[in-house]
Amino acid sequence: MKIAITGGTGFVGRHLARRLAHEGHEVVLIARGHDHRDESIRSLPGTTFVAASIDSGTDLQNAFAGCDAVAHCAGINRELGAQTYRRIHIEGTRNVVHAAKASGVEKIVLMSFLRARPRCGSGYHESKWEAEEIVRASGIDYTILKPGVIYGLGDHMLNHLSHALHTFPLFALVGMKPMRVRPIAIDDLVEIIRAAIVGKRLSRETVFVLGPEELTLESAVRRVAGVLDRRPLYFPMPVWFHYVMGWICERIMKVPLVSLAQVRILSEGVTEPSQPCNPLPHELLPHTAFTETQIRNGLPEPGSFGWRDLRLAG
């Protein structure tokens, strides 16, 4: 098959591309070209990199030419300048759908979010929901995946937790009561995307994707800290404190330690969908537990936050 991946150099896109290329599929990676964290992704066998924005319907149509399916993984978790939720999640998805229809693409798989929903006061959640609605109304076969917290090599979760635990002796937990998560291993998520595209599963379905183990956010952080042999002092802080920290981090860090959208996500808990949707069939349920081995395999090189992480550093 020939499969296009928007956000192809991002976390999910990279892992999906490796799996598909390894199986011998032809892969078209579509991204603005600003993410150079893993240059090897651009030279995978049978892979073509297209430096294009999802703003351009013409570029997308050219990139989708001859493709059987599109995995729409492009997205943001904070707004920065012209990169707004409306532009990326809503208008970008509309452009992807129009280009897919014009190019004869047979299937779209959309990466949404577990608790995406309308009229909730969060631009991130609302724009993800509107993207879902655009895909559902497209007339093209689709699968909409609604995962919670995803982890693995090159993610935001383990990457920033590792750097934070190497930098600070204190760790502020979100909210004054325990927040719960069900982390999903990236390999499990990739298997589901592959099943939807290559296996032609989950046709015209919106499904939620959660890891097999439910635990508190504190327990998850303690597991990561244990692997790193770090022992910070944990203490709860009210959600408003984290919103202030997120606001500051978004303005001074290239990749925020925590964004406003992530504060909202964690403050709600990430263990159940907010809108009615289908469960995965048993054989596609994520099965990888959040173990020390999994954590170790997903950790970046040890290091603390520093000057290089600030936007002032260029």
pLDDT of residue 41: 86
Helix or strand (DSSP H, E) at 222: helix 217-228
CA neighbor of 130 nearest in space, from 118, 147, 113, 148? 118
**Are the C-beta atoms of 271 and 112 separated by less than 8 Å?**
no
Is it the case that residue 35 has pLDDT exceeding 70? Answer: no
Q: If you average pLDDT over every residue of the chain, what do you get? A: 95
Predicted confidence at residue 38, as pLDDT, reads 76
Calculate the CA dihedral of residues 132, 13, 204, 79 and round it to 10 degrees.
Answer: 0
Report the distance separating Cα 193 and Cα 200, nearest Å: 10
For residues 50-68, give the mean pLDDT: 93
Report the pLDDT averaged over residues 196-208: 98
Enter the pTM of the model: 0.95
Report the pLDDT value the prediction gives residue 43, as an integer from 0 to 100.
Answer: 85
pLDDT at residue number 92 = 97
pLDDT digits (tens, 9 = 90+) for 217-240: 999 999 999 999 999 999 999 999
pLDDT band at residue 260 using 50, 70 and 90 as cut-offs:
very high
pLDDT at 263 > cutoff 90: yes
